[in-house]
Amino acid sequence: MEYETVIGLEVHLHLNTRTKAFCGCSTEFGKEPNSQTCPVCLGLPGSLPVFNETVLDYAIKVALALNCSIQEYTKFDRKNYFYPDLPKNYQISQYDLPLAKEGYLEVDVDGKVKKIRIIRVHMEEDAGKLVHRQETSLVDYNRGGVPLLEIVSYPDISSPDEAYEYLSSLKSTIEYLNVSDCDMEKGSLRCDANISIRKKGQEKLGVKAELKNMNSFKAVREALAYEIQRQAGCLDSGKSVIQETRLWDAKLSKTISMRTKEEAQDYRYFPEPDLPPFIISSSKIKEVAKSIPELPPQRMVRMMHEYGLSEYDARIIVSSKEFADLSEDMIKEYPGKDKKPIVNWITGPILAGANSLGIQPHRLDIPGGIPELIGLVKSVEEAKISNLTAKAVFNESLSNGKACSRIIAEKNLFQISDSSVLDKAIDEVIVSNEKSVSDYKNGKSNAVMFLVGQVMRKTQGKANPKVVQEMLKRRLENA
């Protein structure tokens, strides 16, 4: 049977405010357990929450960047449940009057732009963290009260790859806004997915499973792919899919049932009495809007116009803000109108070099910095060194910390275009490769490439292959 997949994602995002959402405790990650707590975030009787205005500014920023409409009238609610990571037994969240609704995020899927609609963006606080050690469970409340945004998409996503692109695009947008570090390992970005399948062409939605516990983008993609297979297997064998919450087990590469609908907790909400509803003025929204920087889609278009980048190159370059900033600096400093040579280096050896070191490209420590790199690319353009040599020099420079220009000088890697040097090498090659010479003369024009290769070997790769080829052809045709 052929099925269609329907996926909706719920993303929880830590905002990187200095202090928590409703008290003055620090939000710094990795501190001594329970060292960043106070009566408010511990929920001690008599303590009162005070809303951190920066949370609102950041939340509006994200909502606007996601093309949402900000609700004029909004309030906080208590979401009641009992769990040891939440000493108050309720979480301050937003229920029926969320901060923002009805937005969208544009996602590039196989070269086509798709709009994934967003249902709502609301503010809430995080709970503490349980640490399990053998027989004991410990709780760290440092995370309790850290501001979170919940971003809920419509079920507009139709494949694990699309889910991956949505998350990448969301992460990149948030990074441009500089309101979260989006680090999944630290729990700053967490994602739950609702997934169901239905017969192709069927209108009614299938029964969904909620997936939790995915702690990387890769895990999200794998968990969704697994779940499509599992649900299809159920339907193919005549069984029905049951509505349940499932956990992704990365070690076993499978999802396992956590609880079914019958066991699901029904949260009770009621308005937070200690935080009165409030109105967000249009002047506030305008003020926040002014602080939104150029976002990836606009930056992409601008860079295509300004520097003549292809859409493909531009998309790669704007995917992270730091990489885009670095790239733009390089492009600007590269002399000449045609920026293609430096762009090819950015999306080629620089990205590859960062990948092989397992770091983000903007963290690459290029010895001598941008001027050295530009010098290297120019040397290739001016045919002073070959492209192959330049790539090898660049990689060597990354691993031993020597500037490219120094490596080239020390090893004397300048390309040989001097015809008297090349003449001698060509003479020797012609004498010792009679067969290829006669092949060429008998019309096998490809034979010349073998001879070029021999000359390159003789000159340790330093000969200019274009010049060698021209010289060889001239010699063979006149001989």
CA 264, 265, 269 angle in degrees (round to 5)?
Answer: 145
23 binds Zn ion (CB under 5 A): yes
CB atoms within 10 A of CB 344: 15
Instruction: Find, among 282, 288, 285, 278, the residue nearest to 74 by Cα.
Output: 278
Q: Residue 269 CB, nearest distance to Zn ion (Å)?
A: 23
Q: Residue 147 CB, nearest distance to Zn ion (Å)?
A: 12
Contact present, 58 and 242 (Cβ < 8 Å) = no
Residues that bind Zn ion (rule: CB under 5 A) add up to a total of: 5
Q: Residue 144 CB, nearest distance to Zn ion (Å)?
A: 8
Residue with tokens 């990365």: 250
Q: Per CB under 5 A, which of residues 160..199 are in contact with Zn ion?
A: none
38 binds Zn ion (CB under 5 A): yes
Contact present, 428 and 457 (Cβ < 8 Å) = no
Burial 57-68 (b: 16+ CB within 10 A, else e): bbbbbbbbbbeb
Burial 71-105 (b: 16+ CB within 10 A, else e): beebbbbbbbeeeebbbbebbbbbbebbbbbebbb
Q: Residue 20 CB, nearest distance to Zn ion (Å)?
A: 5
Q: Residue 126 CB, nearest distance to Zn ion (Å)?
A: 12
Q: Which is nearer to Zn ion, 25 or 366 (CB)?
A: 25
Q: Residue 91 CB, nearest distance to Zn ion (Å)?
A: 15
Q: Which is nearer to Zn ion, 49 or 353 (CB)?
A: 49
Q: Which is nearer to Zn ion, 34 or 168 (CB)?
A: 34
DSSP class of residue 243? P
With CB under 5 A as the contact rule, which of the stretches 37-45, 129-137, 350-358, 373-381 interacts with Zn ion? 37-45
Cα 81 to chain centroid, rounded: 34
55 binds Zn ion (CB under 5 A): no
CA 228, 231, 236 angle in degrees (round to 5)?
Answer: 115
Q: Which is nearer to Zn ion, 121 or 127 (CB)?
A: 127
374 binds Zn ion (CB under 5 A): no
127 binds Zn ion (CB under 5 A): no
Q: What is the DSSP secondary-structure string of 128-157? A: -EEEEETTEEEEEGGGTT-EEEEEEE-S-B
Q: Which is nearer to Zn ion, 139 or 364 (CB)?
A: 139
Exactly one of 41, 62, 123, 385 binds Zn ion (CB under 5 A); which one?
41
Q: Which is nearer to Zn ion, 86 or 416 (CB)?
A: 86
C-alpha Rg value of the chain to the nearest Å: 30
With CB under 5 A as the contact rule, which of the stretches 22-30, 134-142, 318-326, 360-368 interacts with Zn ion? 22-30
Instruction: Find, among 41, 57, 91, the residue nearest to 272 by Cα.
Output: 91
309 binds Zn ion (CB under 5 A): no
Q: Residue 212 CB, nearest distance to Zn ion (Å)?
A: 27
Q: Residue 270 CB, nearest distance to Zn ion (Å)?
A: 23
25 binds Zn ion (CB under 5 A): yes
Q: How many DSSP H helices and E strands does the chain contain?
A: 17, 16
Q: Which is nearer to Zn ion, 47 or 158 (CB)?
A: 47
Q: Which is nearer to Zn ion, 38 or 207 (CB)?
A: 38
Q: Per CB under 5 A, which of residues 245..304 are in contact with Zn ion?
A: none
Q: Residue 27 CB, nearest distance to Zn ion (Å)?
A: 10
Instruction: Identify the three-state secondary structure at position 123.
Output: strand
Question: What residues line the site for Zn ion (CB under 5 A)?
Answer: 23, 25, 38, 40-41
